């Protein structure tokens, strides 16, 4: 017998992972790990294509970097991100021989 709501063509094998998701909401989603945030329209397009997480940086259409460019800019990007139902991660700009700059970026909210 097949449980109601389960497609009888569902293939279950030794490679199938079973998860107890009672009380949870499972949704499809993709992660884009190299985003140049150069347009305010990016989150809308990401949502439409199933992207749920965007990681990257940039200061707009006039730059080609993938970093967020300092505490002020990172703060503005974090504020703008609040308007969207997407997970955002912003890349900082640091120098490994100057730990203070790395610490500053992470305290500002950069993920790496």
**Residue 52 pLDDT greater than 70, yes or no:** yes
Helix ranges (DSSP H) in the chain: 42-48, 71-81, 99-108
Q: What is each CA distance from 112 to 27, 39, 49, 84, 96, in whole angstroms? A: 27, 22, 25, 21, 12
Q: What pLDDT was estimated at residue 93?
A: 74
User: pTM for this one?
Assistant: 0.67
Q: What pLDDT was estimated at residue 94?
A: 66
Q: Output the average pLDDT for the chain.
A: 83
pLDDT tens digit string along 82-107?
999 999 999 887 666 778 888 888 88
Q: Where are the domains of the chain?
A: 30-108
């Amino acid at each position: 017998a097949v449980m109601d709501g389960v497609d009888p063509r569902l293939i279950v094998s030794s490679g199938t992972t079973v998860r107890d998701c009672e009380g949870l909401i499972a949704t499809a989603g993709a992660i884009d790990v190299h985003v140049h945030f150069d347009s305010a329209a990016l989150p809308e397009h990401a949502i439409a294509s199933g992207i749920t997480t965007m990681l990257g940086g940039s200061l707009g259409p006039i730059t080609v970097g993938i970093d967020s460019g300092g505490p002020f800019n990172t703060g503005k990007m974090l504020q703008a991100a609040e308007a969207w139902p997407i997970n955002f991660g912003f890349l900082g700009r640091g120098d490994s021989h100057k730990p203070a700059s790395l610490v500053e970026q992470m305290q500002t909210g950069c993920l790496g």
